[in-house]
Amino acid sequence: MNRYITDTIKSDSLKALKKIVNIPSINSTKEDERAFPPFGKGIDSALKEMLSICDKLGMDTFYDPEGYYGYADYGEGDEMVGVLCHLDVVPEGDREKWKSDPFTATERDGAVYGRGTQDDKGPTIAALYAFKAVADAGETFGKKIRFIFGTDEETLWRCMDMYKSHEKLPDIGFVPDGVFPLVYAEKGLLQIKMTGPGATKVEAHCGESPNVVPDTAEYCGAGDITELSARFKALSIPHTVKEDKIIVHGKSAHSSVAGDGKNAIALLAKGLVGLQPHPAVSFIAEKIGFETNGESLFGEVIEDRSGKLTLNVGKLEIKPSFSEIVLDIRIPVTHDKDELMGTLKEAAAVYGFDCQVFDYLPALHVPIESPLVQTLWKVYRDKTEDSTEPKITGGATYARAMPNMVAFGAHFPNSKSLAHMENEHITLTDFYNAMDIYAEAIYRLCCQ
């Protein structure tokens, strides 16, 4: 078994991780805005910094002139092994819940804290320095390895669309943006915007991203705030009062595991329904509530391998001119998107809402007996002596973007998942262990 990860690699990779986490690479542009850089200066700065790191590692780099993506190559083989990574991150959420600045990488208690340490900057740096370790050991790369850096993974994947329209696709590869041992199938991803009537006496601004369970929901509108607060207290709805607003408090989580969080929008709807009537509030309270499987809307949607449907109310806006609900739905591998949309449209129409698809990614399935899956699974078993089976998840990774790709780590089975949550961090043990696994995987995919 190869041992590539040296103390120098560990030290250099940690410095690089802190440098890239310190760049707040949140999408700062509107969905229909045409700008340069396309997703804001923060993301563009992270992309340029990552390519600078790759330059210093001896790789050949390319920056897309339009700013959508970049890549770094090493080796001269006819076949290409791709490592697909993303540099954008979700917003930090409630800063008051962070014990340190989310955009100042902070090392404490054997871990590095900061937004992106788990999703996806930490795994990206681990894979990149794993490559560097293999190259430094003098191994011969019979295949080209290409690290592809995306900038729009947390929203609409426009970076991948641009890459695929201009560049060669890898023959095989992996995405360091999932769990170990690996993910060979992913549920379909369906994000929907529901648009309905506005209101003059009700105003709400809740949620920042469809794929995050919102941990706060703000309401201001008609009615005595003191009385409303008393109602919320009687219903055991965690909240605070700030001037003329009520702020409901939940618990954030990634929408693919929405059941791990507490949706502040659902809590707000529970407190308001029947008291401050509005179709958006009524729809959420009556047709979704605290369910994360969509059963009241769709009935039971389940598949033997990939489990139940997952539903998250990611955003709610109520303004004088319109209201909007944004849903994130993870669909079991064998179920039909169009059938679900038909059911949702019928239910929404009763409340005066129109439904439009905001984003859709079909399910992914790479056969478990494929050489890629078998190779990566064996690397994991050899390194860890863990016999955990490959997984099917509700997460959506870049593995769907190109053929013959799977998500491979960097999250370990017994480690706490903090992606999209406050105090996101990666332990140094997990960081270096993932790096060791990635180094062996890169050796077997590129050098044997």
Could you give the residue numbers annotated as active site?
A: 88, 153
> Is 418 in a helix, a strand, or coil?
coil
What DSSP string runs through 350-396? HTT-EEEEEEEE--EE--TTSHHHHHHHHHHHHHH---PPPEEES--
Strands (E), 120-199: 144-150, 172-175, 178-179, 183-186, 188-196
Q: State how far the Cα of 145 lies from the Cα of 355, in Å rounded to an integer.
A: 42
Closest CA to 26 of 84, 71, 92, 85: 92
Terminal C-alpha separation, the chain: 13
What DSSP string runs through 272-290? HTTTS--HHHHHIIIIITT
Pairing of strands 183-186, 391-393: parallel
Residue 271 phi, psi dihedral angles, 5° rounding: -75, -30
Biggest distance spanned by C-alpha atoms of the chain: 72
